[in-house]
Every structure is written in structure tokens, then in C-alpha cells.
Amino acid sequence: MVGKTKEEGKLEKKFDPNFKTTIATFGGTVKFKQLVSLKVSSKTKLSGTVDYTVCNDEKCLPPAKVEFEVNLQ
């Protein structure tokens, strides 16, 4: 991986009385971008998971996990 992951979306930080701490949230759609570097003429797969929780002003859904796999060349 090259550099830090870039976040594209509306980041909001606010105090959450349920967790009694300041939390960072994204409103609407968010994209996370990460550059990767491959050796010349190499093909490989990049796999991982994204863990997330969805909340509104009244409640949060249980945490969810999505697995992904991308062919790189």
C-alpha cells in the first residue's frame, strides 16, 4: 500500500450521549480510496473486510462486516 487511505465524504464529529464520547460519522455516501503498488507484470488479489455500523438519531443497527476481493494486475 502506498500512503494513507483517503476518505471522501462529509465527516462529522459529535458527542454521543449513549457512548459518552465524541464519535466520527459520515453522512450520506462515503468512499475510502487506497493506492497500491505492484511489481511489474504481477497479478494478485487484494482481499479484506469492511466493518461498519449504521445509526440514526434514535438507534444503531448491529455492527456488520462485508468481505471483498479485487483482482489486481
What is the tens place of the pLDDT at every residue in 15-31? 988 889 998 888 888 99
Beta bridge partners of 45: 71
Instruction: Give the pLDDT band of residue 73 (cuts 50, 70, 90).
Output: confident
Q: Residue 33 to residues 6, 18, 50, 56: CA-CA distances in angstroms?
A: 5, 30, 13, 25
pLDDT for position 16: 85
For 38-52, how does the pLDDT look when each residue is reduced to its tens digit (9 = 90+)?
877 778 888 999 998
Give residue for cell 468481505: 67
The continuous run of DSSP H or E covering 71 comes out as strand 64-72
Residue labelled with grid coordinates 479485487 = 70
Question: What DSSP designation does 24 have?
Answer: E
